[in-house]
Structure 1
């Protein structure tokens, strides 16, 4: 429980930090890329202004030869700006025909006159940022001046920035994950200590309560042995005896769970016959079933073909487990079914061996004909001290148990590497299924009397 909570804490520490780091890295990348693009665009606009000031803007630019000589002259006047920034110039006529270019043959990109700034793909992996300016004089279009700048001055730094940010984010998340694991461990220490103290208190209190309860029960039995008691007094002493027994059962359950949680319950697995164990439990509870006028029946199914681990001749219902704990598991489960089954009802106990993914397992199903469990209560039936509507029991006038029986069932099943499943429909009863894996090394042949 604490390990899972620590893992979730570390996971959320890392997740929140990852979101913040990704937001920061994305914002920083966007800022750097926007700054680089803005710098390139400002450079293109500045070059266009310089070229326009150096040109004689008149109708002579309509003559291709005159336009070429004028542009070449302006380029020779100050070529440093173009060469330092790797900028290329192109002049197009009013119809979009290339007249002059600093690149032999011109740049293989279509002339776009609708938008002044755009990015053009020249070759695979090579892009240009272009600025197209229409030149107008006296209301007459003389041509188009296009300025191009290599895009790698934006893409190359941004690619490097992505690599650097990725490395920093991974390194940061690794460090945060390690620190989060350490901090979650520190945060869980006081909770773990409080929980251990609570479990120890529960175990100590339950243990200390057993002695006075035994004394009370002895005194009650002595009082009931008096043959001169009147009927009213005897009835009161019998009520005290019932309450004492009920409180003793609650103390025993609390003590078992407290010791089980702290690992103090001895787990002594041995080869036992699960069918014989169930037969004993059903025989012990047959008196309670008869008292409540409930039909309690045990059905042991024949092993399916192929489930026995041939060629060894072994008992199909042999199981390595703690016989005392298994007896308590099935006793609690069948008692719970009898408690919630009305008179004239039926509780069916079935034992079978079946295969799952090629491995044999033993399945014990306890099905009753009670009123069923509400769907909203199904996820909580194995919680400690949880009790559904008292109307689910056969006697609506009293509460249905202490709420620890099914918690003990699940604890014992998990200790045997098994699981407990429940299905229920209102008005049709409930079915509890205990699944115990019968591993190849655990299959045994118990001694039968």
Structure 2
């Protein structure tokens, strides 16, 4: 699927670029061609002006004011000069009869008075071989001007220029543009394929995570649902058997009670899993409505540690909270009163440290210790050469538990990731203490990121694990 999407994306890149390059090349070609045509027309008009100034006009009848052009005197000095510039001159009588030309033989093209220039084609039939040698193209660009004095037309002057002076560079330009455009399209196709692959990498990773997330969520939901269904079927089967036998003793009631407790725990587990998924989904979509206010983190940790004391006593684990006092140099009463306060969401922070401390207790064997340490530090950063200090609160959850393998640390905060790959939970595990769904640390990371903080983990197998949470006292924009 992703290869097909990548191909389509690269094809769109290439197609759009090809269209743009084609439009650009067409614009360049038309501009250059029109410039060449204008240059030829300007040259022809200039020749017309030069020749007209050189015309020798003789008066034939003074009374009638009739004039004529002395052809021999007028064009005697123009033949050689125009031949060097590949320009041919024709002179016609007022009636359109050809009187003088630089062409080897007449080209038999009707006269059209036009100073703007026009392109005409010479017929091959009857054309002298010298004409074909002189003009490699059968197309000519011509300018025709009517020469007159007063109302008397003295004749028509037509100047011709070979069209290959325009067509030859135009063809070369077209070839160069086509070659350049083709190479550019191929380059863009390669770059589009490369860039589309780069663009699809995060999408592919997100898709793979989504697939894994869906598979894990389905697995986690399927297990308790299957257990609930099994217990309900067993309870209904036993109830039907007892009704048929008309027996209802204390043992049967105790058995029903135990099955209902299992169903209750499974339902609670399902509800917690759904709530966790809903929380993560809201954090990912950015639609969660979090209420930030001043939170004394020391009081919050005291509350969480007190709640976890019951579980720690059951496992015979020493759970303690250590608060690092402010330095003696700090004498500001207002700062001292709010030394461990930060701007955050109380409920989410409680959830964060409950998850971390609960995990530490869960994976620490009896006789171990779990120490929670809170301190305030200052981080130095520079902006535009200026040095700033920003206060941070650092919380360490240190346990002497079983530890985490080094290869598992990079994936520790992935959703549904658990070091133990076994996912089946039997009834005895549920009645005692159900293992987590693998969302606790993912939720912890989401809460830390929401508060613009950082969470790190250090662990040694067999010696214990330390979770380090660093939270800014105020948000970065504040």
Q: TM-score range by the shorter chain?
A: 0.3 to 0.5
TM-score, length of structure 2 as denominator length: 0.45
Which structure has the larger Rg over C-alpha atoms? 2
